[in-house]
């Protein structure tokens, strides 16, 4: 397995009656637990603006090997009761462990577009397109997520049937109109489906370590 930055992508809905406890669990326990794992760099929460699943969590790692480490495995064998309860209440969840590539730009904007690419999409056009749009006002960064089937085990309530492992283009922007505009242009180029999110909050390893 090639050493490259990894990304854990988790999106889900939650029933209205479970939402308050779900968010408290995520904000007060789950994100910190995951970022504390060796190799994890950050955990970031987003909420849907126009997306099939209301909540999105992105966890960046220094390599894909972080998802096969003993520390990561131990996190699943020491689940708290709170974690078990909320994982079982997720509605239509989606979990993907991905390699990060074609990254351009630095930082994270308040607005995020997730483009799920068609099987016929020509990823080779990405670098030229990124170079073309990198000075667009409001554009922050973009990168490609490629799921690894062997690492993307399903969540407790995630269906195991027809789990398509399609690449996802992530576009980060400081401006919502810019984010949507770039997403639509990329979707037309790559035959992609668009999901739009706004930033909730982020925890980095440095912040966790330094208190």
Does residue 1 sit within a domain?
no
Does residue 192 sit within a domain?
yes
- Is residue 49 predicted with pLDDT exceeding 80? yes
When pLDDT is cut at 50, 70 and 90, the band that residue 3 belongs to is low
pLDDT at 4: 81
The pLDDT mean for the chain works out to: 95
The tally of domains found in the chain comes to 1
Dump pLDDT digits (tens) for 59-114: 999 999 999 999 999 988 889 999 999 999 999 999 999 999 999 999 999 999 99
- Is residue 2 predicted with pLDDT exceeding 50? no
CATH number for 175: 3.30.70.100
- Is residue 154 predicted with pLDDT exceeding 90? yes
Does residue 96 sit within a domain?
yes
Structural domain harbouring 99: 6-210
Does residue 140 sit within a domain?
yes
| SS3 readout for the chain | CCCCCEEEEEEEEECHHHHHHHHHHHHHHHHHHHHCCCCEEEEEEEEEEECCCCEEEEEEECCHHHHHCHHHHHHHHCCCHHHHHHHHHEEEEEEEEEEEEEEEECCCCCEEEEEECCCCCCHHHHHHHHHHHCCCCCEEEEEEEEECHHHCCCCCCCCCCCCCCCCEEEEEECCHHHHHHHHHHHHHHHCCEEEEEEEEEEEEHHHHHHC
Average pLDDT over residues 146-160: 93
């Amino acid at each position: 397995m090639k050493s490259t930055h990894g990304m854990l992508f988790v999106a889900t809905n939650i029933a209205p009656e479970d939402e308050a406890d779900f968010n408290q669990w995520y904000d007060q326990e789950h994100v910190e637990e995951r970022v504390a794992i060796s190799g994890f760099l950050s955990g970031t929460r987003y909420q849907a603006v126009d997306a099939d699943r209301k909540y999105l969590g992105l966890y960046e790692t220094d390599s894909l090997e972080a998802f096969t480490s003993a520390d990561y495995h131990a996190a699943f064998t020491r689940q708290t009761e709170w974690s078990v309860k909320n994982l079982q209440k997720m509605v239509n969840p989606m979990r993907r462990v991905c390699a990060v590539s074609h990254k351009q730009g630095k930082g994270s904007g308040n607005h995020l577009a997730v483009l799920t690419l068609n099987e016929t999409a020509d990823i080779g056009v990405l670098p030229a397109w990124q170079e073309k749009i990198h000075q667009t006002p409001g554009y922050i960064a973009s990168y490609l997520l490629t799921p690894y089937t062997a690492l993307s085990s399903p969540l407790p309530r995630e269906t195991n049937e027809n789990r398509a492992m399609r690449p996802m283009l992530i576009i980060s922007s400081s401006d919502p109109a810019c984010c949507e505009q770039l997403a639509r242009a990329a979707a037309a180029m790559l035959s992609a489906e668009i999901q739009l999110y706004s930033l909730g909050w982020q925890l980095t390893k440095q912040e966790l370590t330094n208190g």
